[in-house]
Amino acid sequence: MTDIQISPRQTILTRMASAARTAGRSPEDVALVAVSKQQPWEAIAPVLAERQLIFGENRVQEAQERWADRREGLELRLIGPLQTNKVRDAVALFDVIETLDRPKLAKALAEEAARQGRMPRLYVQVNTGEEPQKAGVSPTLADGFIAECRALGLPIEGLMAIPPEGVPPGMHFALLAKIAARNGLTKLSMGMSGDFETAIAHGATSVRVGSALFGARTY
């Protein structure tokens, strides 16, 4: 008897492809960002061995420790809040920063990118639920902030959001898609382990999946 092992990653990719097709989209238009934060290397290594190339991290220092010596050929994305005193390290390490959400950070990124001659691709984080404890620019201020970033010469590639917990996320994904469309942005980072299929239905071009891929995080 042959025991065919289907990895968690393969299962997620299959679900992503099916969600894309259901929405009349092409599976190739949705990327899987493997959120490796707080995961032991034993959990990450098998996923890397399956040729997963895009990884998401929420802390600059943790990402440096994990990836600095083995980032060749990989795309690293920062998906957690960025303090201005970490901008230098973040610009040096990450290919994509998804959490640009305030003018002070925009200015710091523009200055540091000029200094290093290296500019990560950028996403503006939108606080679609207007939750006071959550990072992200308010939806009503998003258009102005995107314009401000562009005036600084920052290459804004798309938008990112983390919907509030405990409510259906669909309207938050739809709001993010609407803000992106009216600002001429085509990339949408939205959807996590519990809701990535809904996010794909609403136009996600990348989903950030952690626990469904690696198992529960170790703290």
Ligand X SMILES: *Cc1c(COP(=O)(O)O)cnc(C)c1O
- List residues near ligand X by CB under 6 A: 35, 37, 58, 79-80, 162, 192-194, 208-212
Q: Spell out the long-range contacts of 106-114 with Cβ–Cβ below 8 A and sequence spacing 24 or more.
A: 106/145, 106/148, 106/149, 106/152, 106/154, 107/152, 108/84, 109/154, 110/152, 110/153, 110/154, 112/87, 112/88, 113/154
Structure-block tokens of residue 116 = 């290093």
Structure-block tokens of residue 16 = 């992503």
| Residue number with CB closer to ligand X (83 or 115) | 83
To ligand X, the closest distance from the beta carbon of 107 in angstroms equals: 23
Angstrom distance (rounded) from CA 211 to CA 15? 15
To ligand X, the closest distance from the beta carbon of 144 in angstroms equals: 23
To ligand X, the closest distance from the beta carbon of 208 in angstroms equals: 4
| Residue number with CB closer to ligand X (59 or 150) | 59
Q: H or E element: which one contains 149?
A: helix 139-151
Token pair 């920052």 in the structure block, residue: 154
Angstrom distance (rounded) from CA 118 to CA 87? 12
Angstrom distance (rounded) from CA 131 to CA 41? 33
Q: Which amino acid is at 201?
A: A
| Residue number with CB closer to ligand X (40 or 194) | 194
| Residue number with CB closer to ligand X (107 or 134) | 134
To ligand X, the closest distance from the beta carbon of 153 in angstroms equals: 26
Structure-block tokens of residue 107 = 């200015």
| Residue number with CB closer to ligand X (58 or 64) | 58
**Which residue number places its CB atom closest to ligand X?**
210
Structure-block tokens of residue 128 = 């679609």
| Residue number with CB closer to ligand X (136 or 203) | 136
To ligand X, the closest distance from the beta carbon of 117 in angstroms equals: 28
To ligand X, the closest distance from the beta carbon of 115 in angstroms equals: 27
